Structure 1
C-alpha cells in the first residue's frame, strides 16, 4: 500500500439540483501519509463530505483527486483500489467469519468471477497480522466485541490496498480501551487518512491537519495546534471552550462549558 495525495477542490453537495447545498464549496489538499481530522457539531456536513470522498455521492460542484486522478473519471472498481472506507454502520455479516469479512476487501482486485489466489491470501494474512486478528480469524463476525468488529472492518479496508482511507467516527460507541486501540492503529497505518471525529482532544493527538465544518461551511483548515483556537472552537460548537496545556506532556487540551445565560431569569 502506497499513500497518495488527496486533493479536494470546491466540492459541494445538495440532495437535488434545485435544493440548497448541504455542503458548501470546500477545498483542501493532504500530502501522502498525512492524517486529516474533520470536526464539527452534528449536522455540520462531515458525513456528507466523507461520502463525496469515497465516491458514494457525486459532488454538485468541484472535484476529488487521488494521486492526481479524478475519482469520477475512474471505474467503480478502479476507485475502490485507491480509496477504502470504514463506516459507522456495519452491515450484517450473515454468519461470515472474521477472515471471510476481511477477504471481501479483495473484491476490487478480481475481474468477473475470478477466484481468490495465493496473492490474496498473502495480503489477508498480512493485514490480519498487523491488526492482531489471527486469533479471531474463524470467529463468527456477529460474536465479536465492538472493538474487535472495528478492527475487522479496518482490516477489510486495508485488504483493498488503498492509497486513501476514510474513517467515519471510528471510535463511536466504543469503550475507552477500544477507543485507544483504534487511535493507536490510525497512527501506525502510514496511509493518507481522513477521519471524522467528535472529540477535539483526540483530533489534536492523532491528526496532522484538521478541517472545521459548521452548518455545511468550512471554518478553517490547518494543523490543529495552530488552527483550533478558543474563539474558533467556541463559535463552531456554541460552547465556551478553553485550551490548556497538560503539565507533563505539554499537549494541548480543551475543556468546555455551556455559555452563561444573559438577560432576565425566572
Structure 2
C-alpha cells in the first residue's frame, strides 16, 4: 500500500440547498503518510466531514483530491481503491468468520461474481498476519471482543489497498487496553489517515496535525503542539482547559474543569 496526499478545498455540506450548512467551507492538506485528527464537540461536523472524504456524500461546495485527482471524477470502484473507511457502526456477524469479513474488503478489486483469485487471497492473508489476526481467522466474528472486532474492521479496510484511511471514533466504547491497541495500530500503518477523536490528549499524542471544528466551522488546523492552546480548547469545548507537560515524557496533557 502506498500513501497519497489528501487535499480538501472549501468543502461544505447542508441537508438541503436552502438549509443551514452542517459543515461550512473547510480547507486543509494532509501530506502522504501523515495522520490528521479531527476534533470538536458533539455536533461540530466531524462525521459530516468524514462522509465527504470517503465519498458517501458529495460536497455542496469545494473538492476533495487524493493524489491530485478529484474523487468525484472517479468511479465508485476507483474511489474505493483509493479510500477506505472504518466507521463506528460495526458489521453484523451473520455467522461469518473473521476471514470472510476481511475478504469483503476485496470487493473493489474484483468484478462480477469472481472470487478475486490467488492475489486477493494473498492480500487477505498478509493483512491478517500484519494485524495479528491469523489465530482468529476461522472464528465467528460475533464471538470476538470489542478490540478484536475493531482490528478486523481495520483489516477489512486495509485489504482494499487504500492510499487514504478514514477512521470514525475508532476507540469509542473500547476499554483502556483495547484503546491502546488501536492507537498502536494507527501509528504503525504508514498510510495517510484521517481520524475523528473525542479525546484531545489522544489526538495530541498520535496525530501529526489536528483540525478543530465547532458548530460546523473550522477553528484551526496545524500541529497539535502549537494549535491546541488553552484558549482555543476552552472556547471550542466550553470548558476551562489547561495544558500541562508531563515531566517524564515531555508530552502535553490537558486537564478540564467547568468554567465558573
Give the TM-score of the pair, scaled to structure 1. Answer: 0.97
Instruction: Give the number of the structure whose alpha-carbon radius of gyration is greater.
Output: 1
In the alignment, structure 1 residue 64 sits paired with structure 2 residue 52: no
Task: Name 1:188's counterpart in structure 2.
Answer: 188
In the alignment, structure 1 residue 13 sits paired with structure 2 residue 13: yes
Task: Name 2:256's counterpart in structure 1.
Answer: 256
Deviation at 1:116, TM superposition (A): 2.2
CA distance in structure 1 between the partners assigned to 2:176 and 2:91 by the alignment? 24
Task: Name 2:155's counterpart in structure 1.
Answer: 155
Task: Name 2:105's counterpart in structure 1.
Answer: 105
CA distance in structure 1 between the partners assigned to 2:242 and 2:115 by the alignment? 56
RMSD: 0.5
Deviation at 1:170, TM superposition (A): 0.1
Structure 1: gaps (5+ residues)? 261-266
String of CA shifts for 1:51-96, please: whole Å, max 9, x gaps.
Answer: 0000000001000000001001100000000000000001312110
Task: Name 2:43's counterpart in structure 1.
Answer: 43
List structure 1 segments (4+ residues) > 6 angstroms apart after TM superposition: none
Deviation at 1:241, TM superposition (A): 0.1
Task: Name 1:80's counterpart in structure 2.
Answer: 80
Task: Name 2:55's counterpart in structure 1.
Answer: 55
SS at match of 1:187: helix
**C-alpha contact 2:102 2:155 (8 A) present in aligned 1:** yes
Give the TM-score of the pair, scaled to structure 2. Answer: 0.99
Matches within 5 A, 1:81-230: 81-230=81-230
CA distance in structure 1 between the partners assigned to 2:138 and 2:44 by the alignment? 40
CA distance in structure 1 between the partners assigned to 2:92 and 2:132 by the alignment? 22
CA distance in structure 2 between the partners assigned to 1:100 and 1:65 by the alignment? 31
CA distance in structure 2 between the partners assigned to 1:21 and 1:139 by the alignment? 44
CA distance in structure 2 between the partners assigned to 1:147 and 1:252 by the alignment? 26
CA distance in structure 2 between the partners assigned to 1:88 and 1:196 by the alignment? 10
CA distance in structure 1 between the partners assigned to 2:231 and 2:126 by the alignment? 45
SS at match of 1:160: coil
CA distance in structure 2 between the partners assigned to 1:69 and 1:42 by the alignment? 31
CA distance in structure 1 between the partners assigned to 2:74 and 2:156 by the alignment? 21
Task: Name 1:238's counterpart in structure 2.
Answer: 238
SS at match of 2:64: strand
**C-alpha contact 2:6 2:65 (8 A) present in aligned 1:** yes
